[in-house]
Amino acid sequence: MRKKRVLIHSNFCKAFTGFGKNSKNILKYLYKTGKYDIFEAANMRMEKDDSLNYLPWKCYGGVPENYHQLPQDEKRKAGYGALKIDEIVNEVRPDIYIGAEDIWAFTNFHHKPWWNKIKCMVWTTLDSLPILPQAIEYAPKIKDYYVWSSFAEKAFKEMGYNHVKTLRGSLDTSLFFKLKEEERSNLRKFHGIKEEDFIIGFVFRNQLRKSVPNLLDGFKIFKEEQPNAKLLLHTHWDEGWDINRLIEEKGINRSDILTTYFCSSCNRYKISPFVGQKQNCPFCREETFNTTNTKDGVSEEQLNEVYNLMDVYCHPFTSGGQEIPIQEAKLTELITLVTNYSCGEDSCSPESGGLALDWNEYREPGTQFIKASTDPKSIYEKLKMVYNMSDKERGSLGKKSRQWVFDNFCVEVIGKKIESIIDEAAFLDDSVDLKNNNYNDLYPMPTNLDNGDFVINLYENILNDYVDHRTEGYKKWVGDLDSGKINQNQLYNHFIMTARKQNAQKPLAFEDVLGGSDKGKRVAVIIPGEATDILFINSLLKNLQRKHKEHNIYVITKPEYFEYIEDNKYVFKCLPYSDSIENPISMEGFGENDGYFEAAYYPATTTQKIPCYIHNGK
């Protein structure tokens, strides 16, 4: 038996992002098991990028070559791999698809022809209340739905979605650990940090949801009591917050705010106050010394050293999906101060060894999401609490923090859970069509259902879609039915028409559409023209059925004309017209070659181009 094929769709495994790190960890873990054929669909990488070729598994770039010619809205989809994923799935034919991204990366994936024909797992970060409407809308459509924090799982369970579960982002716990005191002391000397300095650290992407102003306010209060305090901001100063301006506004001494410089030429780093970008590297003298960033940043080994320079770690934010630096800091046995909201609830719980930062609610404009504004006074109070702890107390909490990460985030723990999910997946049958949606336009109208169950039934059995009472489509149609705007029969006909129009958009393959049950007993009437032609043909079908007593009559016309003829009792089925079936001979066959129909009538015209009187010599 072949190995199961596993397709991981996320940030490129070499990207310096949370999703990228997680992707690398999981891909490496699954590859080392030797149990599976591993494939990666890499977002943020062009489809023919050279870096895709130097991995032990097959890696596909998710961004098409014509990216720069795409409209702006298409570029966003392309960045998340949405324009290439169908092609990748069809080539790989995986037994399981695992998508680890923001939920909006999967917009309309439930309409893709392969969705739920293979085991489809979505592993996403959700960070605010109320839960994003799109995430709720997708809950009935995603059978294997995982979130990165218990905060989101709890919110879903309160809505009745018990299948949504927490699966935390993975960490390679071997990379982060507490250095020996001698090593830590030498490291501080190298970076010009005194032993008596109390270093408060924050490792973050400089996004506006990271509460830099609040942290500076809390630090300023603490600094007034503890002159030896310094704040280390490990981030890029050319994006997000204008940290320079904030420091000036708050009257903080610039020498008390440290940052990490990295040289893209020699790959060395230095901790110092910020003095601008494109500085001369003190090691190689090249003008390539900039604050660390996602493109040119410190290695994991170097980042471990940065954490070890700190005495406490402080992570104030408005919301977040997991915030991996918190767990990295805990692995180095730092006490972590974390905003007690969103994923932060996990990381400041008593069992995590962290301390909670208080916050005030505000609403994000537009979305109206609840966001947290971390209280600077709470930052000050918790910094003071840690500062006054004995070495024994700090050591005990630090060890507790490290063990909590091992138990909940270690790549071996998370990898084992994913292994179990993969092992539960069925092997994909070779006959399954992953290229075409097969909407059921022959589904009979359900009866004796209330309006809610009726709508759910139509979605599931005609459009292969799953909805419930929170889904927008459900709300609209049930509202229309309850108000009397439409009746069940009209809604059923609408769904059938929608299915037929969708089916008409894919290449017409008569073998698939017709099947074999009535082979040799079919008659086609081909009407490419206008609605008036359809009305004329309606009057002739009774006589045609009389002539072909044992045959089923198929009318082939444009989908928009189906409604003019599909209720004629002599019509067995309507099929969508295309230019490829313009010649009736191709439908009937010729000589010894069997066609699809015993007779194909083209009553709109008779010309030399379209001979419509042969009918296999019958």
For 367-398, what is each residue's pLDDT tens digit? 899 999 999 999 999 999 999 999 999 999 99
CATH of the domain at 68: 3.40.50.11930
> Would you place residue 618 in the very low, low, confident or very high pLDDT band (cuts 50, 70, 90)?
low
> Would you place residue 588 in the very low, low, confident or very high pLDDT band (cuts 50, 70, 90)?
confident
Average pLDDT over residues 473-488: 96
CATH of the domain at 256: 3.40.50.2000
pLDDT number for residue 446 = 95
Per-residue pLDDT at 608 exceeds 70: no
Tell me whether residue 432 is in a domain: no
Angle at Cα 35 formed by Cα 32 and Cα 40, nearest 5°? 70
Per-residue pLDDT at 211 exceeds 90: yes
* Residue range(s) defining the domain that contains residue 65: 4-170+414-424
Of 559 and 356, the one with more pLDDT: 356
Tell me whether residue 49 is in a domain: yes
Tell me whether residue 355 is in a domain: yes
Tell me whether residue 462 is in a domain: yes
Highest mean pLDDT among 64-78, 249-263, 546-560 belongs to: 249-263
Angle at Cα 49 formed by Cα 44 and Cα 50, nearest 5°? 135
Average pLDDT over residues 151-163: 96
Which residue is listed with tokens 């977040």?
Answer: 320
pLDDT number for residue 231 = 98
Q: Domain total for the chain?
A: 4
pLDDT number for residue 596 = 83
Give Cα 191 to chain centroid, integer Å: 40
Give Cα 194 to chain centroid, integer Å: 45
pLDDT number for residue 597 = 86
88 and 196 belong to one structural domain:
no
pLDDT number for residue 580 = 65
124 and 68 belong to one structural domain:
yes
492 and 522 belong to one structural domain:
no
Per-residue pLDDT at 155 exceeds 60: yes
Q: Are the C-beta atoms of residues 43 and 81 closer than 8 Å to each other?
A: yes
260 and 391 belong to one structural domain:
yes
> Would you place residue 220 in the very low, low, confident or very high pLDDT band (cuts 50, 70, 90)?
very high
Of 524 and 123, the one with more pLDDT: 123
Helix (H, G, I), strand (E, B) or coil at 356: strand
323 and 196 belong to one structural domain:
yes
Average pLDDT over residues 186-200: 97
For 391-433, what is each residue's pLDDT tens digit? 999 999 999 999 999 999 999 999 999 999 999 999 999 999 9
460 and 542 belong to one structural domain:
no
pLDDT number for residue 592 = 54
Tokens found for residue 542: 């009774």
Q: Are the C-beta atoms of residues 269 and 263 closer than 8 Å to each other?
A: yes
Tokens found for residue 399: 């060890």
224 and 265 belong to one structural domain:
yes
Average pLDDT over residues 327-339: 98
Tell me whether residue 166 is in a domain: yes
pLDDT number for residue 16 = 78
Per-residue pLDDT at 163 exceeds 80: yes
498 and 526 belong to one structural domain:
no
pLDDT number for residue 545 = 94
347 and 215 belong to one structural domain:
yes
Tell me whether residue 589 is in a domain: yes
pLDDT number for residue 400 = 97
Tell me whether residue 529 is in a domain: yes
Give Cα 40 to chain centroid, integer Å: 14
24 and 156 belong to one structural domain:
yes
Helix H, strand E, coil C: the string for 396-418 is: HHHHHHHHHHHHHHEHHHHHHHH
134 and 191 belong to one structural domain:
no
Tell me whether residue 399 is in a domain: yes
Per-residue pLDDT at 454 exceeds 60: yes
Gap between the Cα atoms of 501 and 498, Å rounded: 5
Gap between the Cα atoms of 379 and 589, Å rounded: 82
Q: Which of 341, 324, 423, 393 is nearest to 25 (CA)?
A: 324
144 and 186 belong to one structural domain:
no
Q: What is the mean pLDDT of the chain?
A: 92
